[in-house]
Structures are given as structure tokens and as C-alpha cells.
Amino acid sequence: MAEAVSAAIRRAGNPGRSGHVLSIRSARDLFSARERLARLFGCEDSSRFVFTGNATEALNQAVKGVLRPGDHVVATSVEHNSVMRPLRRMEEGGVRVTIVPAGPDGVVDARDMVAAFRKGTRMVVMVHASNVSGALQPVGAVAAAARRQGILTLVDAAQTAGSVPIDIPSLSVDLLAAPGHKGLLGPQGTGFLYVREGVPIIPLTEGGTGSRSESDRQPEFFPDALESGTPNSVGIAGLSVSLAWILRKGVESIRRKEVALVSELLDGISGIHGVRFFGPPDPSARVSPVSFVVEGMDPSEVGWRLEKGAGILVRAGLHCSPNGHRTLGTFPTGTVRVSPGPFTTRKEVARFLTALRKIRNLPS
């Protein structure tokens, strides 16, 4: 991936802006990444995958590009701020927002979500898996009910894209956002928004697309409608290579590995007195990020000790989801979060557990 980014930045070339060899090469990088995204998520038409700088930009585009004053929207209490902040902004402009609380394990009940639908509900927004508790949410059931009632479903797949198999058509999802740099293993500064054909959406950014240059009106066809200005083609060249790797490896196989590692992690944490993890105890009901607290110790102190003592880097504190933390009862102190990925080994999980025992002054 890094080599592909390096090669692309050395080669240069602005996609779709010219007919010369470097421009074509760059356009091909975007095209191949788009085609691979479509394959990964079970879609035929890759033009519906729009590149963004990250998942936040994609979520902003979806929320602000679809909702209008008077619309009602339903979301869970475990949404990331990349959903909550745009929703709160829209609320100021006349969009009505209902937040459905999740249970103590961080999972929202699909029946509660559906019960919140009412006349004027335009969209339901759901994080596929919480970035705090790791809990997988019942997106399929909610999206199917929403589709039956003509309500759009926006899914924040930041924690699941590339880690959990997702077949967009069978999920009845209308919009789906994800970053390139997490489970999709691409570089930072990449992300995408999937928009189902027929979903009315207004671009947040308009400008040069390299197409319809004779017109001062934004094109309405995809992906150009939502992609203006020079894209991060260098980053997307890297993402394309990562996507090829994931397609070869298979998301199912990545998922199996991560579930096994999370299982060892949860078993290990459960055996350490004074350490508590959050979210579902069943590894198959959750994704990789595991939040935990060490009794009587500030999460940032735990993070610091893991780094200094064992060279293990974790995120500590509030994970950009205040409501998610309130749901788990970890607001405002937060948690420590550790996330095994496709390249993590069992040995590394064991080393982490040893370091954690040491922090608790227990024999390793």
C-alpha cells in the first residue's frame, strides 16, 4: 500500500482532467479502487461509490445532502460525533431528531428503532458497530423495516468495512459511509460514501469535475455529482492496493481471525481482577475495538503505562462518542481501547495481557 502511494505521488497526474498518460493512469487508480469497493460490498454499479477524505466527510454529505427542514430522523444513542454533530446542526435548521437509547451492553434493540419511526421520518442513521463498545447493531432488521416504510437508511460502517462481511443490496441500505484507513487498510485521507441509485442527494461541494466543462451547473450523474475538485488520487491508489489484498484474503477470513483474537482478549481481561471490559461478551456479537477500564486508574495513565512499559499503543479517554460513553456509564472519564486487526498475532495479544497484569501488580 505504502509503495503504491509512493509510486503515485512520484508519478503525479490529475485524474479526469486531461487525456495524457499520467492523467489516464491516475484515473485508472480511482476506477480500480471504485470497482474493488463495489465488489467488496456486493454492488454492480461502482459509480455509486463516491470518494471522500474520510468517513466524517461522507457522513456529513449523507446527512446534510439528504435531510431537509421538517424531516424527522432516528439515530441510536451510540453514534459517533461524525453523525451526532451534523444531526445536531441540522436540528438547528428544523430537522427533528429522535435518539433511541442502547442497552447497557451498547446494543440498540431493533424494535425500539422501528417504534421511533413516525410520519415524516425521512432517514434512520445507524452505526454498524460502536467504536466504543464494539457492539454490532441490528442494522439489517432496522433497514428492512425502514425500506418497507419508504425511510432511507444511512449506515456508518467505520468499524466494520473490511472487517465484517457487508452485502449492501441484501442489507437494504441506501447510504453507507466508511473510512479508507481502518478496516480497509488504506492510507489516511481516504473514505467513501455509497449512495443507492434513486436517492435524492444534494452535493455539499460543487466545482470542477473534468466533465460537462461547457456548463456552469454541477453534473447530476455519479460519481461526478458528489466529487468536485482534485481528489486524493495518491491516497486512493494506496487504498486500491489494500482493497485488492482484502478481496484476495476474503473479509470472512479476516472476520474469523479477529473474532478469535477478540475472544482471547476478552477471556484474558476477564481473568484479571480489577479490569473490566465493555460491550457484548460474545465475540461474534461485536467487532475488534475492545474498551476496558482498570479500577482506580485513569485511562490515560493505563495508556501511558502500556506504552512506556510494553511499547503497546492504545487510545485512552473519550472516543468521540459522548453518548456512547453515557450508555456504558463511562462518561466523562472514558475507557482504554485496544483493537486487534488482521495483522495482529496471538503472541501480541498475550504480550498485551501480560502488560495489563503488570499494571495491576499481578504476576504475569
Partner 1 sequence: MARAATPEMILVFRGTHQVLSAEKQLRKGGVPMRLIPVPRHLTSECGLAIRIPLAERDRAREILSASRLSPLSAHLSLGDGGYDLTPF
Integer angstrom CA distances of residue 317 from 287, 313, 321, 338? 19, 13, 10, 12
Under the binding rule (CB under 8 A), the answer on residue 20 touching partner 1 is yes
Residues 6+ apart with CB under 8 A from 259: 283, 284
- Residue with grid cell 471504485, as numbered in its chain: 34
Under the binding rule (CB under 8 A), the answer on residue 221 touching partner 1 is yes
User: Nearer Cβ to partner 1, position 19 or 311?
Assistant: 19
User: Positive or negative CA dihedral for 358, 361, 362, 364?
Assistant: positive
Under the binding rule (CB under 8 A), the answer on residue 34 touching partner 1 is yes
Integer angstrom CA distances of residue 348 from 132, 143, 320? 22, 37, 27
Q: How far is the CB of 29 from partner 1 (least distance, A)?
A: 11
Taking the mean position of all CA atoms in its chain, how far away is CA 322?
17
Under the binding rule (CB under 8 A), the answer on residue 216 touching partner 1 is no
Q: From the list 60, 76, 133, 209, which residue makes contact with partner 1 (rule: CB under 8 A)?
A: 209
Under the binding rule (CB under 8 A), the answer on residue 244 touching partner 1 is no
Under the binding rule (CB under 8 A), the answer on residue 148 touching partner 1 is no
- Write each residue from 47 to 66 as x if it is in contact with partner 1 (CB under 8 A), else as -, in one continuous string: x-------------------
Under the binding rule (CB under 8 A), the answer on residue 87 touching partner 1 is no
Q: From the list 8, 13, 16, 158, which residue makes contact with partner 1 (rule: CB under 8 A)?
A: 16
Under the binding rule (CB under 8 A), the answer on residue 18 touching partner 1 is yes
Under the binding rule (CB under 8 A), the answer on residue 39 touching partner 1 is no
Q: From the list 24, 244, 310, 320, which residue makes contact with partner 1 (rule: CB under 8 A)?
A: 24
Residues 89, 93: Cα–Cα separation, whole Å? 7
Residues 353, 11: Cα–Cα separation, whole Å? 44
- Residue with grid cell 477524505, as numbered in its chain: 53
Under the binding rule (CB under 8 A), the answer on residue 207 touching partner 1 is no
Under the binding rule (CB under 8 A), the answer on residue 203 touching partner 1 is no
Q: How far is the CB of 215 from partner 1 (least distance, A)?
A: 9
User: Nearer Cβ to partner 1, position 47 or 98?
Assistant: 47
Q: How far is the CB of 208 from partner 1 (least distance, A)?
A: 9
User: Positive or negative CA dihedral for 39, 40, 44, 45?
Assistant: negative
Q: How far is the CB of 106 from partner 1 (least distance, A)?
A: 39
Q: From the list 7, 11, 25, 28, which residue makes contact with partner 1 (rule: CB under 8 A)?
A: 28
| Main-chain dihedrals φ then ψ at residue 291, nearest 5 degrees | -95, 135
Residues 328, 88: Cα–Cα separation, whole Å? 22
Q: How far is the CB of 35 from partner 1 (least distance, A)?
A: 8
Residue 323: count other Cβ atoms within 10 Å of its Cβ: 21
Burial category of 70 from C-beta neighbours within 10 Å (exposed 0-12, middle 13-18, buried 19 and up): exposed
Binding site for partner 1 (CB under 8 A): 15-20, 24, 27-28, 30-31, 34-35, 46-47, 209-214, 219, 221-224
